[in-house]
Amino acid sequence: MKELQMPIIYENNQRIGYGGNQDWFVNEWAQKAGCASVLASNLYSYYMHQEHYTKEQFLAVMDDMFQLMTPGTMGYPFLYKFARTFVKRMNQEQCYLRPVYQKKSQNYQHALSFVLKSIDEGHPVGMLILHHRAVELEEDNWHWICLSGYRESEEHYRIIFSDCGQRREIDSRILFDTHHQNVFKMVRMKNDPIK
């Protein structure tokens, strides 16, 4: 098993989040369409090596990212724009990253290998699910999630991810099912040695 550190959010000394939750936004549109901002906030915290936040502290990060990635009427389903905006923001913190994309997974193994390699190299994966037929993911259509780890069993892997402040696990064969009805895209970062 390997799991990267997602930010843990507290309110009144109670743990309320494994990563951020778009429901915490004050703005109603942000609550509905702010998942890209939440993913960016989770990644920001990870790369800044800050593991614990109060809700107020983390909401300030989320608000900052929302200003950079304000969703339009269709939300923010932009893989390249998301990555470019995030990298630019991290440059301001002297954290230099380059995105690596997997726009279309050829098959289950192709998707799984991309994620395992990312996690093993210490980089969480942003996953944009445009449509997925799995019952387990019916709330996650047109939605960004943050893949943060994996658990290996004898036959397959379970993928650990942050989704709306919850730590969830799902069978990799379900998540990375490349059936024609499933449309998902992924991006991870790598360190940019040029800077």
Mean pLDDT of the chain: 97
**Those residues with Cβ within 8 angstroms of residue 144's Cβ, 6 or more apart along the chain or in another chain:** 35, 36, 38, 39, 76, 82, 126, 127, 128, 129
Helices 35-47 + 55-68 axis angle, to 10 = 120
Instruction: Write down all domains in the chain, each with its CATH number in brackets.
Output: 2-91 (no CATH), 97-191 (3.90.70)
Per residue in 183-195, pLDDT tens? 999 999 999 877 5
Q: What length does the chain have?
A: 195
Mean of the pLDDT values across residues 1-13?
97
Per residue in 131-179, pLDDT tens? 999 999 999 999 999 999 999 987 789 999 999 999 999 999 999 999 9
| Residue 58 three-state SS | helix
CB of 47 closer than 8 Å to CB of 90 = yes
